[in-house]
Chains A and B, each alone.
Chain A
Amino acid sequence: MTLSSPNPKVTSSNTWNFEYPQTSHSLSCMTKRSSKYSRLRSWKLQYCLRRTLRAAANDYFSLLINLSIHALKLNIAAARPESFPPSPPFSLEMLEDILREKPLEADGIDSVVVVDNVPQVGPERLEKLKNVIHKIFSKFGKITTEFYPDADGLTKGYVCCSHSGPRGVKNADGYKLDKQHTFRVNLFTDFDKYMTISDEWETPEKQPFKDFGNMRHWIEDPDCRDHYSVIYESGERTAIFSNDAKEPIVAEERARWTETYVRWSPKGTYLATFHQRGIALWGGEKFKQIQRFSHQGVSLIDFSPCERYAVTFSPLMDTKEDPQAIIIWDILTGQKKRGFHCESSAHWPIFKWSHDGKFFARMTPDTLSIYETPFGRFDKNRHVCIYRDFSWSPGDNIIAFWVPEDKDIPARVTLMQLPSRLEIRVRNLFNVVDCKLHWQRNGDYLCVKVDRTPKGTQGVVTNFEIFRMREKQVPVDVVEMKEGIIAFAWEPNGSKFAVLHGEPPRISVSFYDVKNNGKIALMKMYDKQQANSIFWSPQGQFLVLAGLRSMNGALTFVDTSDCTMMNIAEHYMASDVEWDPTGRYVVTSVSWWSHKVDNAYWLWTFQGRLLQKNNKDRFCQLLWRPRPTTLLGVEEIKVIKKDLKKYSKIFEQKDRLSQSKASKELVDKRRTMMEEYHSYRETTQQMYQEQKSARLELRGGVDTDELDSNVDDWEEETIEFFINEEIIPIGDL
Chain B
Amino acid sequence: MKPILLQGHERSITQIKYNREGDLLFSVAKDTVTNVWYSVNGERLGTYNGHTGAVWCVDCDWDTKNVLTGSADNSCRLWDCQTGKQLALFNTNSAVRTCGFDFSGNIIMFSTDKQMGYQCFLNFFDLRDPQQIEDNQPYQTIPCTDHKITSAVWGPLGEFVNAGHENGEINQFSAKSGEILNKAKEHTKHINDMQTSVDLTMFVTASKDNTAKLFDSTSLNHIKTFKTERPVNSAAISPIMDHVVMGGGQEAMEVTTTSTRIGKFEARFFHAAYEEEFGRVKGHFGPINCVAFHPDGKSYSSGGEDGYVRIHHFDPHYFDFELEA
Contacts and interface: CB of A to CB of B under 8 A. Distances in A.
A667 interface: yes
Nearest to A700: B104
A670 B274 contact: yes
Interface string A585-605: 000000000000110100000
A684 interface: yes
A699 B104 contact: yes
Given A667-B325, A670-B325, A695 B273 contact: no
A691 interface: yes
Given A597-B250, A673-B275, A677-B272, A707 B104 contact: no
A661 to B, nearest CB: 15
A573 B262 contact: yes
A691 B273 contact: no
Nearest to B106: A698
B229 A598 contact: yes
B20 A698 contact: no
B275 A719 contact: no
Contacts of B250: 597
Interface string B154-187: 0011100000000000000000000000000000
Interface in A698-712: 698-699, 702, 704-705, 707
A496 B159 CA distance: 76
A707 B295 contact: yes
B199 interface: yes
Given A707-B296, A719-B41, A691 B157 contact: yes
Contacts of B10: none
Given A598-B229, A684-B201, A707-B21, A674 B157 contact: no
Contacts of A695: 103, 157
Nearest to B159: A694
Contact of A674 (B218, B273, B295): B273
A375 interface: no
Interface residues on B, range: 35 or more
Contact of B242 (A598, A677, A691): A677
Contact of A597 (B103, B157, B262): B262
Contact of A673 (B41, B261, B274): B274
B266 to A, nearest CB: 14
Contact of A572 (B103, B199, B262): B262
A59 to B, nearest CB: 68
Contact of A670 (B104, B201, B229, B323): B323
B216 interface: yes
B38 interface: yes
Contacts of B242: 677
B134 interface: no
Given A691-B157, A719-B38, A698 B103 contact: yes
Contacts of B145: none
Contacts of B22: 707
Contacts of B135: none
A704 B216 contact: no
B223 interface: yes
A722 B41 contact: yes
A702 B242 CA distance: 27
Interface string B238-252: 000010000000100
A721 interface: yes
Nearest to A676: B273
A488 B138 CA distance: 75
A688 B201 CA distance: 8
B67 interface: no
A464 B34 CA distance: 71
Interface in B191-237: 199, 201-202, 210, 216, 218, 223-224, 229
B216 A671 contact: no
A233 to B, nearest CB: 12
Interface in A257-271: none
A727 to B, nearest CB: 22
Contacts of A702: 63
B103 A677 contact: no
Interface string B40-59: 11010000000000000000
A601 B215 CA distance: 31
Contacts of A597: 229, 250, 258, 262
B325 A684 contact: no
Interface in B116-159: 156-158
B62 interface: yes
B320 interface: no
Nearest to B258: A597
Nearest to B23: A717
Interface string A191-224: 0000000000000000000000000000000000
Contacts of A667: 324-325
A94 interface: no
Nearest to A680: B223
B41 A699 contact: no
B41 A694 contact: no
Given A674-B274, A691-B156, A719-B41, A704 B229 contact: no
A221 B20 CA distance: 60
Contacts of A687: 201, 218
Given A673-B274, A698-B157, A704-B20, A598 B262 contact: yes
Contacts of B202: 684
Interface string A641-677: 0000000000000000000000000010011011011
A138 interface: no
Interface in A144-161: none
Contacts of B229: 597-598, 600, 615
Contacts of B41: 719-722
A551 to B, nearest CB: 14
Nearest to A668: B325
A721 B250 CA distance: 36
A526 B46 CA distance: 61
A673 B62 CA distance: 34
Nearest to A600: B229
Contacts of B40: 719
A667 B250 CA distance: 33
A673 B296 contact: no
B104 A694 contact: no
Nearest to B217: A684
Contacts of B105: 699
A677 to B, nearest CB: 4
Nearest to B324: A667
B43 A719 contact: yes
A688 B199 contact: yes
A618 B242 CA distance: 31
A242 B306 CA distance: 44
A573 B262 CA distance: 9
A720 B41 CA distance: 8
A509 to B, nearest CB: 26
22 contacts: A597-B262, A598-B262, A600-B229, A617-B210, A667-B324, A670-B273, A670-B323, A671-B325, A673-B273, A678-B273, A680-B223, A684-B202, A684-B216, A685-B199, A688-B199, A694-B157, A698-B103, A698-B157, A699-B63, A699-B103, A704-B20, A707-B21
6 tightest A-B contacts by CB? A677-B273, A698-B104, A670-B325, A684-B201, A674-B273, A698-B103
Given A670-B325, A707-B21, A721-B41, 14 more contacts: A615-B229, A617-B210, A670-B323, A671-B325, A673-B273, A674-B273, A677-B224, A684-B201, A688-B199, A691-B157, A698-B103, A699-B62, A699-B63, A719-B43
